[in-house]
């Protein structure tokens, strides 16, 4: 006969703990084994990018990296800036305006809901309808608490990091959109309050916290994020890193889905060198290719 105090015996607690540990390890292993291209969408699906803007040079490199983005594939963008970084927010806004201007120049009609463009008759490129998904309803800029300020003592870093982590969840779940404007809901735009398909990061600390947050959401398969293969993580090491990885880079290498470096001497293992990532600059020997 089981005694009513069974729940409180040390054996029970030990069993419970072991079971949880095993389950958690298996789950983590599963997450780990799915690293790599996640392919959450098929051709023509609207895709949502979440772009973490580190600050200063990080922000600039990220936006240079993204400058040729075609919005008909990546139809909704969320930019994340750290609190107190007014520069990055301004840069993101300018970047979106530039995207809009450039696509307008190409003559792509701007998509503003179901009736604005007839997708069936519009011109196509490799099968994609040439439509511009730009304008204030196609992106949002979110602010999260800074994970670690410059010169912040190490002792208090865990607290600010935790604060940052808590700020990441609403951003990833799309419930923390800073703009109150809700974009039109239609089948060609991903719902902006859905989990992003990809997270782009290039450091520093806040980016690390974002990866952690994405792992936690996928661990519990929140909103089917794992089943739907959401939140592919792409890390781009700074071009300032010639022969050694940055601290964030070293830490994140095993965890992200793609890890890109900009100098050939850093390539190897999970680190991919794909030639120039930023137009007009290459880390390797300078060879002209026409």
Residues in contact with another protein by the rule CB under 8 A: 37-43, 45, 47, 49, 55-61, 64-70, 73-74, 86-87, 90-91, 94, 150, 197-198, 200, 232, 234, 238-244, 246, 257-258, 260, 263, 274-283, 285-290
d(CA 259, CA 188): 29
Which residue, 150 or 154, is less far from another protein as judged by CB? 150
Give the residue with the Cβ less far from another protein, 124 or 279.
279
Provide CB contacts within 8 A for 270, sequence distance 6+. Answer: 253, 254, 259
- Give the whole-angstrom CA distance, residue 199 versus residue 218: 13
Q: What's the closest the beta carbon of residue 285 comes to another protein, in angstroms?
A: 8
State in angstroms the smallest separation of the CB of 68 from another protein: 5
Q: C-beta of 87: minimal distance to another protein in Å? A: 6
Give yes or no for a contact between 260 and 203, defined as CB atoms under 8 angstroms apart.
no
Contacts of residue 202, defined as CB under 8 A and 6 or more positions apart, other chains included, come to: 52, 54, 58, 61, 62, 65, 235, 236, 237, 238
Residue 176 or residue 249: which is nearer to another protein going by CB? 249
C-beta separation of 135 from 111 below 8 A: no
Beta carbon nearer to another protein, 104 or 274: 274
Which of 118, 51, 124, 38 is CA-nearest to residue 89?
51
Q: How far is the CB of 187 from another protein (least distance, A)?
A: 17
CB atoms within 10 A of CB 131: 23
Give me the least distance between CB of 43 and another protein, in Å please: 6
The strand ranges marked E within 62-138 are 76-82, 124-125, 128-129
Helix (H, G, I), strand (E, B) or coil at 141: strand
The answer to whether the beta carbons of residues 149 and 160 sit under 8 Å apart is yes
- In 166-178, which positions are buried (b, 16+ CB within 10 angstroms) versus exposed (e)? ebbbebbbbebbe
What distance in Å separates the CA atoms of residue 289 and residue 254, rounded to the nearest whole number? Answer: 33
CB of 76 to another protein, least distance (A): 13
The DSSP output letter for 173 is H
Q: If you ran DSSP here, which 8-state letter would residue 135 be given?
A: S
Distance CA 161, CA 212 (A): 11
207 vs 260, beta carbon nearer another protein:
260
Between 114 and 271, CB nearer to another protein: 271
Q: How far is the CB of 244 from another protein (least distance, A)?
A: 6
CB of 233 to another protein, least distance (A): 9
- Identify which of residues 144 and 232 has a Cβ nearer to another protein in the complex: 232
Q: Whose Cβ is closer to another protein: residue 21's or residue 45's? A: 45
């Amino acid at each position: 006969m089981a005694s009513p105090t069974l729940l409180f015996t040390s054996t029970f607690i030990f069993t419970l703990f072991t079971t949880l540990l095993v389950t958690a390890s298996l789950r983590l292993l599963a997450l780990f084994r799915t690293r790599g291209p996640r392919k959450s969408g098929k051709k023509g699906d609207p895709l949502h990018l979440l772009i973490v803007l580190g600050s200063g040079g990080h922000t600039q490199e990220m936006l240079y990296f993204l400058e040729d983005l075609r919005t008909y594939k990546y139809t909704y963008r969320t930019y994340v800036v750290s609190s107190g970084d007014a520069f990055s927010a301004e840069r993101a806004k300018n970047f979106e305006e530039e995207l809009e201007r450039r696509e307008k120049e190409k003559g792509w009609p701007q998509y503003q809901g179901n009736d604005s463009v007839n997708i069936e008759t519009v011109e196509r490129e490799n099968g994609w309808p040439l439509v511009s998904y730009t304008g204030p309803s196609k992106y949002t800029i979110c602010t999260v608490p800074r994970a670690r300020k410059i010169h912040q003592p190490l002792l208090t870093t865990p607290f600010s990091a935790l604060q940052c982590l808590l700020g990441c969840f609403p951003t990833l779940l799309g419930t923390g959109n800073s703009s109150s404007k809700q974009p039109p809901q239609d089948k060609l735009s991903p719902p902006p309050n859905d989990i992003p398909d990809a997270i782009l990061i290039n450091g520093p600390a806040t980016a690390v916290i974002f990866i952690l947050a994405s792992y936690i959401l996928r661990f519990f398969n929140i909103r089917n994020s794992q089943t739907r293969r959401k939140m592919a993580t792409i890390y781009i090491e700074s071009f300032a890193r010639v022969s050694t990885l940055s601290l964030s880079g070293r830490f994140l290498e095993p965890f992200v889905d793609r890890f890109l470096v900009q100098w050939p001497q850093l390539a190897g293992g999970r680190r991919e060198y794909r030639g120039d990532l930023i137009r007009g600059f290459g880390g390797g020997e300078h060879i002209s290719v026409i």
